[in-house]
Structure formats: C-alpha cells, structure tokens
Amino acid sequence: MPELPEVETVVRGLERAMTGRRIVRVEMNRPDLRAPMPPDLVARLEGRLVEGVRRRAKYILVDLDDGTVVIAHLGMSGRITISAPGAAPNRRDPHDHVVLHLDDGTVLRFNDARRFGRIDLSDRVGLARHPLLSGIGPEPLDPAFDGPALAAALAGRRTPIKAALLDQRVVAGIGNIYACEALHIAGLSPRRLALTVAGGRAERLVAAIRDVLTRAIAAGGSSLRDYVQASGELGYFQHDWVVYGREGEPCRRCGAGHAVRRMAQAGRSTFYCARCQR
C-alpha cells in the first residue's frame, strides 16, 4: 500500500497539473470501489475550478471552488496518472474507474485493479469530522510533532513500538516500510514496548522518521508492485532501504557478521538488526 512519501509525491504531481484548472468532464465507469462512490460525484465535480491539492495522512484532498473537497485513497493498487495536453490518447483500461478531463486538455485517470481505493466528498468546513479523517494523529513532518508529542501519544501503550507507529491515531501516514526504516535509524527494536519510548528515545525516533520520510519524498517514494508517480514514473527510494526487504544481508550499520532479520508482527513482515536495535 502506498505510504506517506508515495502519496505526497502523487499530490505534488496533481497539484502542478490541476491547480487553477476547471474540470470540464467526468467519466465515472463504476459506482463503487472499496465502498460506494457518491452518486452525485459527476454533478458535483463537472464545471468546478480546482483551488488546490493537498495530503492528509494517506489521503489525497482536492479543494474545489465551491467548498467541496474530493477525498481519494489509493488503497492497495490504486494509481492516478496524468496525460498532458496534446498527448496521444491512452487506450481505455478496464480499471480506469474515474477519469477527469480538465479545461486545458489534461486527463487524469484513477486506476485501481483491486478496487481497494476510495473516493468520497466532503465540504471544507466539516472535513476534519469526516469519518475517513477524524481521529487521525499528527503529521510526522509537522513541526509540532516532536519527541514529547510522540512520547505522550505512546504513554501507557504496551504494544510493540512497530505496531504503534502503524496506528494512524499515533502518527499519520507511516506504513510498514518506513516504520522498519525509522526504527533501524533510531536504533530501537521493533519489539520494544511503545510506552518505553520516551525522552531521548522518542527524540531519536522522531528525527529518524523525519529523515527517512524526507529522503523518500525527494526520491519519489518507493516503487513496489503497482505504485507509480502521477507522471507515470517509478519512485526509487527502495534502492536506499537499509533493512526493509534485506533479510539475510549484512546490516549496513553493524557490517559483516550481523545479518538483517525478518519476523512477523501482526501479520506483517518486520525487518531489523538484532544487534544494533535495542
């Protein structure tokens, strides 16, 4: 599933293509994805001017000039791609479930083979209370997210720190890949109880989260399976992974003789170094 860097990369591409443009035609090729799409989606979008595109956690938010906000989630295999004005028409894909035509000729396609994605509508005033967004924790790149804030969110939690990082109520947008990477950078075992991550440990973990997410965004995210940027290009941060997917390889911190291990936590693979993560 695309995580924060992948979604942020897509948002930046959409922002360049959509901001200031009017949606002139909408093709809705099926009524549902993971959940039913709004039945008035076409009517609410056609003719509207796009004021901006932003991200909240793993959700893409498109602000329209009448106060409507389009909420989109890529799910497991979803992608949004852009065909620039004047580009040769793409052959219709059966998984292009929603297609937007902009006033300059740009075409955007929401393609989702597995249909785990979502598209919904809200108004700007009530956005924070929308069921998909209410209760989501702080953005990890927000200056307000610091060591004390993370320690407060983890206080009393007896779950492993890896599981806590995947809880969107603790911090927004972090998934399996970047939780593994950040814990390795911070030198913290994924098994460590979340409530013990306070003080210097919390400060190290926040710094590691910021570092890995910032570098991943700069690299266009990590391309696994279906993920591509809005331009259709692949991200390449997977080449910089220090532990994720590297089971049996030498730890890049400890060197030869100390291999990266893999274990299952809550049904997901966790990659770590038993020697340098405590």
Could you list the active site residues? Answer: 2-3, 58, 268
Helix (H) or strand (E) holding 151: helix 147-154
Contact 272, 183 (CB under 8 A): yes
| CA atoms of 8 and 172, how far apart (whole Å) | 12
- Angle made by CA atoms 145, 6, 21, in degrees to the nearest 5: 100
Contact 182, 170 (CB under 8 A): no
| CA atoms of 127 and 130, how far apart (whole Å) | 5
Backbone φ and ψ of 184, nearest 5°: -65, -45
Packed helices 4-18 and 199-218: angle between N→C axes, nearest 10 degrees: 40
Size of the chain, expressed as the number of residues it contains: 278
Residues sharing a CB contact under 8 Å with residue 70, sequence separation 6 or more, in sequence order: 45, 60, 61, 62, 64, 119, 120, 121
* Residue 197 CB neighbour total at 10 angstroms: 27
| CA atoms of 253 and 234, how far apart (whole Å) | 28
Burial of 188 (0-12, 13-18, 19+ CB in 10 A): buried
- Angle made by CA atoms 135, 169, 132, in degrees to the nearest 5: 40
